[in-house]
Amino acid sequence: MCECIKQMDDALEAHNGKLSVGFGVTQDMGLVMRLMIGTEKIDKTKRKPVPYVYAAFCPFCGESMTSDKRLPHVVTPSAETGSAT
């Protein structure tokens, strides 16, 4: 995996910022870090939460974010708990 996220976090630290990342579980119960893409509601009166979206490829260098192609690119949050399912 590339070091772009760490490099960007180092650069953003001077501005009190960092990139949002999420973690996915692989088939062999390992963890993989994925860059999270911001989403927001269009119609804020609707209660259903918007899905989380993760980058499959690094937006800075184009390298694959994981070798496990079975991980989903969109994770739907659970309405009851607010956690991803």
Spell out the domain ranges in the chain. Answer: 1-9+26-85
Report the pLDDT averaged over residues 5-24.
Answer: 91
The model's confidence at residue 66, banded by pLDDT at 50, 70 and 90, is: low
The pLDDT value recorded for residue 10 is 95
The pLDDT value recorded for residue 2 is 83
The pLDDT value recorded for residue 46 is 92
What percent of the chain shows pLDDT beyond 70?
A: 75
**SS3 of 7-54:** HHHHHHHCCCCCCCEEEEECCCCCEEEEEEECCCCCCCCCCCCCCEEE
Give the global pTM.
Answer: 0.62
The pLDDT value recorded for residue 85 is 44
Query: Alpha-carbon distance 51 to 67, whole Å?
Result: 23
